[in-house]
Each structure stands twice: as structure tokens, then as C-alpha cells.
């Protein structure tokens, strides 16, 4: 069940001006849950997160403010308020104090990245994780689309400033949403219409032109942002639209230079992937947050070693150990209730007897696990798919959550994803896509069985947080000594 979003305004003290500024923000999720702050970019507002917020708020406290000069927050005249990224970050930092946030992860998009990195530089102890969604911190991430703005940096003349006004026009705002998208019919027109409404407010053009001029300060700070990553090593996810005309995929890949463990996901989308690829992005983010923000400790599971195994579950665990050559951590977690392990194994035995071939069975379970945000399950079933004879291209795609090159297997993947992500409420279109690939009603029920089995296993995985066993990791990620 999604968490409803509420809408608020808070008065924040602007330390630089000694005055107050009112910021609008969206909030959802339990107040005692780990916090995630969503920072929007140009030319948008927290409105861009409207559909993502309820997804993430099922487990986390989600806060999305409108920056000064954007959305429903105050927009003091440029003659009264210095529209620099230093100043925006200072106000947002005061905003986190005003609403009582002392620990939070940051989701940074576009302008939100230089604001968020400044927050991290100022108070690194408060930042629990970073998510960059087309939020740049490297020179190679800047495309040629920045050329007119670079010209303004080099020569801030009235003529160069005037030339940038075309970037504030309705056609350009719409272009930012549509460029690089294969199906623009999925983009809600109110997205760019609302952005344009705020851009067209009296005086707002000067606000935006001032920020264009100051963006060079962000580029100058890139070395400090990168040094922060190397020094503090926060958990990092970059999930980018690969077709962004402003921030190139190289900018996402560059995070690994300073954070080798950074997770990089490139989506076949443009600058605003949440408009067209919400499910894909939300699934990637949900899995990342589950690994980084969720509380991990002995509250329910003191340990997953052999010494914790119950006598009743020992025979089943011994058989599993014989099959794998080791007892998987998740099997031990399920076995804390021996009847649950017996039920899970019975479901797997039943699935093996269905009309689905062994590779399709593993595809269905991997897809359901990904939809449930359970990386352990993805690792297990990608490994088992390989052992069942799946081509390396299929195994790699399963681990990445990407479409499968085999169209029949991809139909299984999509149907299992629909069953799991839609809480079993598959549509007629989901069924038609499956049958068009050559599957019948038996296969549909078998895939539902696979998804049902993974509902149990994935729920326990989220309770126990088992480490992914070496035997299920990607070969190039297994330590040499393993």
C-alpha cells in the first residue's frame, strides 16, 4: 500500500540575508523511518517526484522541497536574493534543520546535484547515501548543449545573457522532457506546463539567468565533490537517462573513478526518466535503499550460521547443502520457521513439475525478486539460470534487470514482473503479451506460482538481510581467495 503525500510550507531563516524565506515541500512516509531528501533541478520542482514519492514512502520518510525561486517556494527578486548555488544549498541546509532532519540520504537531480554535494561537504556525517539521477559531478558529463552557457561564463555580457533567454521558452522546456524518449505519449503534459508556468512568472527569467551564470561555480567545485566521495565513501547509486542531451552517460560512469563500488544504471530515457520509466527507476532505487538505509541488526535474526539451525530444519538444510555445495544464507533464514522452509521447498518442487522449462522458471523467479527489490533472489536465480544452460547474455540481463534478448524468455520476465509489482492484479494486456509469445494458461499459472514462492523468500530476505553467498555472486565480483 502506497503512503499518501502531504503538502507543507515552512519558514526558514536565510542566514545570508538575515531574513526569512518560505519553502514548500512534499512529505510522505513514517517519521521514524530512514529519511530521504529529493532535490529537483531546472526547470522543475518537487512536482517531478509526485509519482515516485508514494513508492519510496512505503518504507522511508521522503521529503521533497522546492528550491527558492522554483515551484511553490518563495521566489524573491534577483535584486534581493543572491541566486547562487552556495546560497541555495545554505537555505536547504537550514530547511533540514527547520524540519528536524539530522540524518538523510540525498536524491540529486540536475541542479539538485550541486546543491546536494554542498550539503554533503558541509555536514558529511549527516549523509547516509547518495542517489544521482542525471546529477553531474564530472567535466565529462557535460555535453555540447552547455556551449551557450559556457560562452556566458567566459563573457557575461548583456548579449550573451540575452541569448540564453531561449532556454526559458516553452518549446525548450518541452524539449527537455521529450528529447531522447522513444514514446513521448507517456509524458504528462502538465509536467512541462507547470514548469513553464513558474518560469513565466514576472522576474523569474532573471533568477534563472543568474543561476546559469553561477553554474560555473559547480564545475569549479567538481574536484572537491570528488574528494568528498573518496574520503567519505558514501553508498552511491547513479541511475541516469542515457539519452539526456545535457548530462552524458560518461558523467554517471565517472562516479566509479572515485567510488569503485558505485552502482551505475543507465535507463533508455532522456533528462526526466521518472516521466516514462518510473517502474524501472523506482525498482532500482528501492533495491539500493534496502541495502543501504534499512536497519540491519540482530533484532529478529541473531545469526545465520549452522549453530543457529533448528533440529527440525536440519534434514532439509542438509539436502539443500548437498544440492548447492553449501547452505545458502537465505535458506537458513527461512528455516527459523521450519514449516516455512518446507512450504517454500514444496512450491519449488511443484514449479519444477510445471510446463515452464528450467530456464524460464529461473527467469520468472529472478524477475519477481527484482520487482520485490530483493537483490539476493536476483543473484540466486541468475546463477541457477546459468547452471540450467541460459546463455551469458540472458544471465547478464537478469542480473541487470534489463530486457532479455530471447523474446519468449522476456515475455516470462515481463509477466512475472507484472504479477509481483502489481500485487497479482495483472491486466488483460499483460496476459495478451504472454500468450502472443506462445504461452498458454498453464504457463500463466506457473509464473504466478514462481512469483508466489518468491513473495515468501523475498519477504524473509528483507527481514534477515542475508549476505549474498559467494556462490551466487557475479564471477568477476568474487574475491580471488573465494
Catalytic sites, residue numbers: 271
DSSP state of 44: -
The three cell numbers of residue 220 are 569549479
Residues paired with residue 463 on neighbouring β-strands, in sequence order: none
For the sheet with 127-133, list strands across it. Answer: 6-14, 19-28, 61-65, 35-39, 104-109, 127-133, 236-241, 263-267
Cα 374 from Cα 372, distance rounded (Å): 5
Distance CA 401, CA 378 (A): 9
Cell numbers 528483507: residue:
462
Rounded Cα–Cα distance for residues 463 and 479 (Å): 26
* Cα 118 to Cα 84, 136, 301, 354, 472, distances in angstroms: 12, 13, 38, 55, 38
Integer CA distances (angstroms), 117 to 39, 92, 122, 131, 219, in order: 11, 12, 9, 11, 12
For residue 206, the tally of other CB atoms under 10 A from its CB is: 15
> Residue 12: CB partners within 8 Å, gap ≥ 6?
20, 21, 22, 23, 91, 94, 95, 98
Amino acid at each position: 500500500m502506497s503512503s499518501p503525500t502531504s503538502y507543507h510550507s515552512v519558514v526558514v531563516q536565510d542566514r545570508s540575508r538575515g531574513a526569512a524565506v518560505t519553502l514548500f515541500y512534499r512529505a510522505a512516509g513514517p517519521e521514524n523511518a530512514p529519511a530521504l531528501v529529493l532535490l529537483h533541478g531546472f526547470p522543475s520542482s518537487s512536482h517531478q517526484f509526485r509519482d515516485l514519492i508514494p513508492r519510496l514512502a512505503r518504507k522511508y520518510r521522503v521529503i521533497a522541497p522546492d528550491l527558492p525561486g522554483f515551484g511553490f517556494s518563495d521566489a524573491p527578486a534577483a535584486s534581493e536574493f543572491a541566486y547562487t548555488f552556495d546560497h541555495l544549498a545554505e537555505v536547504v541546509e537550514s530547511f533540514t534543520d527547520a524540519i528536524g532532519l539530522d540524518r538523510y540520504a540525498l536524491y540529486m537531480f540536475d541542479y539538485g546535484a550541486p546543491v546536494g554535494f554542498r550539503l554533503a561537504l558541509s555536514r558529511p556525517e549527516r549523509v547516509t547515501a547518495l542517489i544521482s539521477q542525471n546529477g553531474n559531478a564530472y567535466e565529462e558529463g557535460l555535453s555540447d548543449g552547455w556551449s551557450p552557457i559556457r560562452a556566458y561564463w567566459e563573457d557575461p555580457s548583456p548579449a550573451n545573457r540575452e541569448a540564453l533567454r531561449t532556454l526559458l521558452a516553452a518549446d525548450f522546456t518541452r524539449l527537455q522532457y521529450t528529447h531522447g524518449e522513444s514514446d513521448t505519449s507517456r509524458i504528462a503534459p502538465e509536467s512541462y506546463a507547470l514548469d513553464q508556468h513558474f518560469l513565466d512568472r514576472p522576474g523569474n527569467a532573471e533568477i534563472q539567468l543568474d543561476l546559469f551564470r553561477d553554474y560555473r561555480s559547480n564545475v569549479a567545485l567538481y574536484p572537491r565533490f570528488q574528494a568528498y566521495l573518496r574520503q567519505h565513501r558514501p553508498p552511491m547509486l547513479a541511475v541516469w537517462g542515457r539519452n539526456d542531451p545535457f548530462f552524458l552517460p560518461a558523467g554517471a560512469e565517472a562516479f566509479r573513478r572515485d567510488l569503485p563500488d558505485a552502482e551505475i544504471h543507465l535507463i533508455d530515457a532522456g533528462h526526466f526518466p521518472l516521466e516514462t520509466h518510473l517502474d524501472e527507476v523506482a525498482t532500482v532505487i528501492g533495491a539500493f535503499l534496502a541495502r543501504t538505509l534499512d536497519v540491519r541488526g540482530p533484532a529478529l535474526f541473531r545469526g545465520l550460521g549452522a549453530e543457529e539451525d533448528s533440529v527440525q530444519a536440519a534434514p532439509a538444510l542438509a539436502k539443500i547443502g548437498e544440492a548447492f555445495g553449501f547452505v545458502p544464507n537465505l535458506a537458513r533464514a527461512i528455516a527459523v520457521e521450519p514449516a516455512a522452509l518446507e512450504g517454500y521447498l514444496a512450491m519449488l518442487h511443484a514449479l519444477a513439475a510445471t510446463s515452464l522449462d528450467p530456464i524460464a522458471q529461473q527467469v520468472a523467479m529472478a524477475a519477481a525478486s527484482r520487482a520485490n527489490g530483493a537483490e539476493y533472489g536476483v543473484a540466486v536465480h541468475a546463477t541457477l539460470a546459468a547452471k540450467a544452460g541460459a546463455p551469458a547474455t540472458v544471465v547478464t540481463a537478469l542480473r541487470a534487470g534489463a530486457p532479455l534478448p530471447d523474446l519468449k524468455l522476456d515475455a516470462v520476465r515481463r509477466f512475472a514482473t507484472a504479477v509481483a509489482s502489481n500485487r497479482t492484479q495483472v491486466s488483460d494486456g499483460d496476459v495478451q503479451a504472454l500468450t502472443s509469445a506462445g504461452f498458454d494458461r498453464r504457463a500463466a499459472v506457473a509464473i504466478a506460482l514462481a512469483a508466489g514462492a518468491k513473495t515468501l523468500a523475498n519477504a524473509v530476505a528483507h527481514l534477515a538481510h542475508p549476505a549474498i553467498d559467494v556462490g551466487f555472486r557475479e564471477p568477476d565480483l568474487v574475491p580471488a581467495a573465494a
